[in-house]
């Protein structure tokens, strides 16, 4: 289809050649009538290629049939030498370009069969020369035809080059999308997921900068998560982004072109609206220029990143539910026992890391439950959990062990770590006032009292550390009861 114009020109030019010879030699309709019949072929070839199921294959067949018809036409013109050479070369070149040497030989055979077949019917004659004017006409037409074919090939090569560049870009995009899932699975939390995902995109597309902003849907003015890689924005750009983030998009999935930045680059912003269940947000891309290919791919990046974020949020929630106590939000007994088992194994293998445990029991919980109800008792447990959490370090594992019991595991520590926390609890929590509200709405004020017991793998077998701490806690509870009774 791309060669329609050059081929139509070739047939018209050859028809003009036919008319010239007919007029010059007085043969008139003897040459012109076959020429008119052959002149109808370009239109038929176009219709054939346009209606064919495989237009490319139909076009290639048309090129072969061109060779046959031009061979016949050269026979009609009694093999006018210059025309036969230039027309034959054009047929051979067209077929060699699309099908190589084998197809060129097939075109040569058809061209020869057409010319010789006509000669068998009408007699074989050779017209070596007509006039200088006709030679000039034929030579100029041949030059124009070859230049037209060269222009067509140039355009197709440029289109092919653009297609190759676009395919390479799409391959980079799809590879980045595939790898993004792996990156997301390795992330331990949302902040790490966003940071690692943007670092991954930056590694695949170093010419771009990336940023992502997530806000809680109920509080769109508060940015809950944010990450940026490879973006250096001016204060004005940041103010524009802040205004954008606070404004819900009119079309939820429309990519916006923001104004060009101070470094003459282009900012794109694609909303995550309706892609996440709890959050809204934007993926912002800093491109060195307007990029149509990138614009088409941004929604894919956003969809993949949103899916990874949503899955991570779900996994974190499931993990939190499995690891955390439903009342206090602290680690539960199952998580603590897994961590304790890891510490026991760490002690039994080189380099033999020590660990310590602090057991705690809230005194008076039963009396609160009996006198004021379980709602007040739950408030007491939550109040103690909140205060204990404030005094624990990030490396300490604080868990609700059961009912009114709490336990802290100190990995890679000796007894001094447990004694440090026990001393802080005795100084700051023991005797602290706590206000509870009963189911009837009455306020009750009482003082916190905790029984404590600690032990370490430096003083007993690793498997016995928890039991020793528990035993010491009950000894402490009994002693405190005796002291209260004596007092």
Name beta bridge partners: 410. 356
Report yes or no on 284 lying in a domain.
yes
Helix or strand holding residue 477 (H, E) = helix 465-486
CA pair distance 21, 79, nearest whole angstrom: 12
Phi, psi angle pair for 250, to nearest 5°: -70, -45
pLDDT value at residue 13: 84
Helix or strand holding residue 120 (H, E) = helix 81-122
Q: How many structural domains are present in the chain?
A: 3
Whether residue 262 is predicted with pLDDT greater than 70 in this model: the reply is no
Query: Which residue has 């934007």 as its token pair?
Result: 282
* Contact of 62 with 47, CB cutoff 8 Å: no
Please write down the long-range contacts of 334-338, taking CB distance under 8 Å and 24 or more positions apart.
335/397, 335/399, 336/397, 336/399, 336/401, 336/407, 336/409
Judgement on whether residues 317 and 339 belong to the same structural domain of the protein: no
The lowest-confidence range among 104-113, 273-282, 407-416, 463-472 is 273-282
Calculate mean pLDDT across residues 376-381.
93
290: region left, alpha or beta (phi > 0 left; psi from -120 to 50 alpha): beta
Residue 223 pLDDT class (50, 70, 90 cuts): low
**Secondary structure percentages of the chain, helix, strand, coil, to 5:** 60, 15, 20
Report yes or no on 267 lying in a domain.
yes
Judgement on whether residues 198 and 309 belong to the same structural domain of the protein: yes
CA pair distance 373, 354, nearest whole angstrom: 42
In tens, the pLDDT along 51-104 reads: 878 877 888 888 888 889 889 888 888 888 998 999 899 888 888 888 889 999
Q: Which spans in 285-373 are helix H?
A: 292-323, 333-348, 365-372
Judgement on whether residues 252 and 144 belong to the same structural domain of the protein: no
Query: Which residue has 């307007």 as its token pair?
Result: 290
CA pair distance 179, 174, nearest whole angstrom: 9
* Contact of 77 with 31, CB cutoff 8 Å: yes
Judgement on whether residues 14 and 148 belong to the same structural domain of the protein: yes
Judgement on whether residues 348 and 474 belong to the same structural domain of the protein: yes
In tens, the pLDDT along 340-373 reads: 999 999 888 888 899 999 999 999 888 899 898 9
C-alpha to C-alpha distances, 449 to 377, 426, 430, nearest whole angstrom: 14, 9, 5
pLDDT value at residue 203: 86
CA pair distance 481, 487, nearest whole angstrom: 10
- Arithmetic mean of pLDDT over the chain: 84
Judgement on whether residues 215 and 348 belong to the same structural domain of the protein: no
Report yes or no on 165 lying in a domain.
no
Q: For residue 410, give the CATH number of its domain.
A: 3.30.70.270
Is the peptide bond prior to 134 cis by the omega test (within 30 degrees of 0)?
no
The lowest-confidence range among 137-141, 224-228, 454-458 is 224-228
Name beta bridge partners: 283. 212, 270
* Contact of 381 with 327, CB cutoff 8 Å: yes
Judgement on whether residues 139 and 17 belong to the same structural domain of the protein: yes
pLDDT value at residue 237: 64
Residue 222 pLDDT class (50, 70, 90 cuts): low
pLDDT value at residue 314: 82
Whether residue 193 is predicted with pLDDT greater than 90 in this model: the reply is no
Phi, psi angle pair for 222, to nearest 5°: -115, 120
| Six token digits for residue 229 | 């890689």
* Contact of 233 with 241, CB cutoff 8 Å: yes
CA atoms within 13 A on the CB side of 220: 15
Report yes or no on 166 lying in a domain.
no
Judgement on whether residues 301 and 361 belong to the same structural domain of the protein: no
Name beta bridge partners: 434. 446
Of 323, 344, 359, the one marking the end of a domain is: 323
Of 269, 295, 323, the one marking the end of a domain is: 323
Q: For residue 300, give the CATH number of its domain.
A: 3.30.450.240
Residue 345: give the domain boundaries: 333-486
Residue 116 pLDDT class (50, 70, 90 cuts): very high
Instruction: Please report the beta strands in 178-260, taking only residues with DSSP state E, as ranges in sequence order.
Output: 209-216, 219-229, 256-257
Judgement on whether residues 312 and 338 belong to the same structural domain of the protein: no
Report yes or no on 91 lying in a domain.
yes
pLDDT value at residue 171: 82
Of 273, 302, 323, the one marking the end of a domain is: 323
Report yes or no on 393 lying in a domain.
yes
Whether residue 239 is predicted with pLDDT greater than 80 in this model: the reply is no
Calculate mean pLDDT across residues 289-306.
80
Judgement on whether residues 311 and 450 belong to the same structural domain of the protein: no
Please write down the long-range contacts of 32-41, taking CB distance under 8 Å and 24 or more positions apart.
34/72, 34/73, 34/76, 35/73, 35/76, 38/11, 38/14, 38/69, 38/72, 38/73, 39/11, 39/12, 39/15, 41/11, 41/65, 41/66, 41/69
Whether residue 396 is predicted with pLDDT greater than 90 in this model: the reply is yes
Judgement on whether residues 437 and 366 belong to the same structural domain of the protein: yes
C-alpha to C-alpha distances, 152 to 12, 34, 100, 149, 412, nearest whole angstrom: 18, 29, 18, 5, 75
The lowest-confidence range among 190-194, 202-206, 226-230, 482-486 is 482-486
Report yes or no on 173 lying in a domain.
no
Report yes or no on 474 lying in a domain.
yes
CA pair distance 258, 243, nearest whole angstrom: 12
CA pair distance 407, 310, nearest whole angstrom: 33
pLDDT value at residue 5: 76
Judgement on whether residues 154 and 8 belong to the same structural domain of the protein: yes
């Amino acid at each position: 289809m791309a060669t329609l114009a050059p081929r139509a020109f070739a047939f018209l030019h050859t028809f003009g050649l036919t008319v010239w010879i007919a007029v010059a030699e007085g043969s008139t309709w003897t040459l012109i009538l076959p020429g008119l019949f052959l002149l109808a072929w370009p239109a038929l070839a176009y219709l054939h290629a346009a209606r064919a199921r495989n237009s490319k294959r139909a076009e290639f067949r048309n090129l072969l049939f061109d060779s046959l018809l031009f061979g016949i036409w050269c026979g009609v013109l009694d093999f006018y030498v210059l025309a036969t050479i230039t027309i034959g070369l054009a047929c051979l070149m067209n077929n060699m370009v699309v099908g190589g040497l084998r197809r060129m030989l097939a075109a040569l055979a058809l061209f020869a069969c057409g010319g010789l077949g006509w000669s068998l019917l009408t007699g074989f004659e050779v017209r070596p020369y007509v006039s200088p004017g006709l030679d000039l006409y034929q030579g100029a037409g041949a030059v124009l035809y070859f230049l037209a074919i060269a222009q067509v090939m140039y355009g197709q090569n440029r289109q092919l080059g653009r297609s190759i560049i676009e395919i390479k870009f799409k391959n980079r995009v799809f590879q980045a999308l595939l790898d993004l899932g792996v990156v997301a699975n390795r992330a331990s939390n949302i902040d790490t997921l966003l940071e690692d995902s943007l670092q991954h995109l930056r590694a695949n597309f170093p010419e771009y900068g990336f940023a992502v902003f997530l806000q809680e849907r109920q509080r769109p003015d508060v940015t809950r998560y944010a990450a940026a890689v490879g973006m250096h924005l001016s204060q004005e750009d940041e103010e524009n982004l802040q205004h954008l983030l606070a404004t819900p998009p009119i079309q939820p999935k429309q990519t916006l072109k923001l104004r060009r930045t101070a470094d003459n680059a282009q900012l794109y912003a694609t909303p995550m609206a309706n892609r996440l269940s709890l959050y809204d947000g934007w993926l912002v891309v800093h491109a060195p220029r307007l990029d149509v290919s990138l614009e088409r791919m941004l929604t894919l990046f956003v969809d993949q990143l949103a899916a990874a974020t949503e899955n991570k949020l779900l996994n974190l929630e499931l993990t939190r539910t499995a690891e955390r106590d439903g009342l206090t939000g602290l680690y539960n007994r199952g998580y603590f026992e897994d961590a304790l088992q890891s510490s026991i194994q760490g002690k039994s293998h080189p380099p033999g890391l020590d660990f310590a445990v602090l057991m705690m029991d809230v005194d008076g919980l039963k009396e609160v439950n009996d006198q004021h109800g379980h709602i007040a008792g739950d408030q007491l447990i939550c109040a103690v959990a909140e205060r204990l959490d404030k005094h624990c370090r990030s490396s300490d594992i604080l868990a609700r062990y059961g009912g009114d019991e709490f336990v802290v595991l100190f990995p890679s520590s000796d007894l001094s770590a447990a004694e440090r926390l026990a001393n802080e609890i005795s100084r700051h929590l023991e005797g602290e006032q706590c206000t509870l509200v009963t189911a009837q709405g009455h306020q009750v004020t009482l003082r916190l009292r905790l029984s404590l017991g600690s032990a370490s793998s430096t003083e007993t077998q690793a498997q016995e550390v928890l039991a020793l701490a528990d035993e010491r806690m009950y000894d402490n509870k009994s002693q405190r009861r005796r002291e209260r009774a004596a007092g």
